[in-house]
Amino acid sequence: MTDKTVLVVDDEPAIHRFLTPVLELEGYQVQRADTGQQALDAMRDAPADIVVLDLGLPDMDGKAVLTELRRTRATPVVILSARDREAEKIEALDLGANDFVNKPFSVGELLARLRAALRHRPSEPEAPVITTGDLEIDLARHRVLKAGRDVRLARKEFDLLALLVRNAGTVLTHRQLLTAIWGDQHEADTQYLRVYVGQIRQKLRDDGEVRLIVTEPGVGYRFRDLG
């Protein structure tokens, strides 16, 4: 259960009729917006803790709403949209969305994505040691332990793994990862990521059926949220 407020931005009445009782049952206080302008007004007057945002709004594109929100707020935003093209996902994520769920959607998946986005809000203080499952990352000492076993990572490998873990449960696009670790000049060098992710997986022995580092084909990578 949660005491958080969620703003659902969608022009389909059926979505609100369906989602509102589901979210309230999970303990969320639900706010409704049918247009982009209503969403921006709501976030100005009574900011929600998290936003579920459709891209196909009647008065403006959802990406324009997202861009405006990101001018002043770091509020988690989960895109919920029927637009399933990779380019749409990548653009929304690059603009600052925390995650993207396609319509039609699984309620369980959406709720899990909301919980993950709330857990990893930028406003939360960063712990010097991050523990998730049997993985422990000491940010200050640049040390990684997997099931108590020391894992030796090169500097870039550590930086990449730490970035993924800090954003566990959230998709990070190729561009976001490349610019954060290697700089703007490498934003298109996706081969860098494939090589480094492969090396990290090998060192973590992350080769089972349920991988820690999840590939989002054509979009980027997500570190599995182990809660």
Q: Which residue, 64, 90, 119, sits at the end of a domain?
A: 119
Residue 94 and residue 197: Cα distance in Å, rounded? 20
10 and 98 inside one domain: yes
63 and 149 inside one domain: no
Inter-residue contact 171 to 222 (CB < 8 Å): yes
> Is 188 part of a structural domain of the chain?
yes
Task: Render pLDDT for 164-218 as a digit per residue (tens, 0 to 9).
Answer: 988 888 899 999 999 888 887 887 888 888 999 999 999 998 877 778 999 999 9
> Is 124 part of a structural domain of the chain?
no
Q: Which residue, 92, 119, 146, sits at the end of a domain?
A: 119
Which residues form the domain of 93?
5-119
Inter-residue contact 7 to 43 (CB < 8 Å): yes
115 and 155 inside one domain: no
Share of the chain above pLDDT 90, in %: 51
Inter-residue contact 47 to 68 (CB < 8 Å): no
In the sheet with 220-223, reading across from the earlier edge strand, the strands are 172-173, 220-223, 213-216
Structure tokens at 226: 């182990």
Of 179, 186, 175, 188, residue with least CA distance to 221: 175
**Position 43 confidence tier, pLDDT thresholds 50, 70, 90:** very high
Of 127, 93, 98, residue with least CA distance to 112: 98
153 and 181 inside one domain: yes
**pLDDT at residue 42 greater than cutoff 60:** yes
Inter-residue contact 68 to 40 (CB < 8 Å): yes
User: What CATH number corresponds to the domain at position 77?
Assistant: 3.40.50.2300
47 and 108 inside one domain: yes
18 and 114 inside one domain: yes
**pLDDT at residue 8 greater than cutoff 70:** yes
Report the number of distinct structural domains present in the chain. Answer: 2
Q: Please report which helix (H) or strand (E) contains residue 90, including its range.
A: helix 86-94
> Is 196 part of a structural domain of the chain?
yes
pTM equals 0.69
> Is 52 part of a structural domain of the chain?
yes
Residue 6 and residue 93: Cα distance in Å, rounded? 19
Which three-class secondary structure state does DSSP give residue 148? coil
Task: Render pLDDT for 71-83 as a digit per residue (tens, 0 to 9).
Answer: 878 899 999 888 7
Q: Which residue, 84, 100, 119, sits at the end of a domain?
A: 119
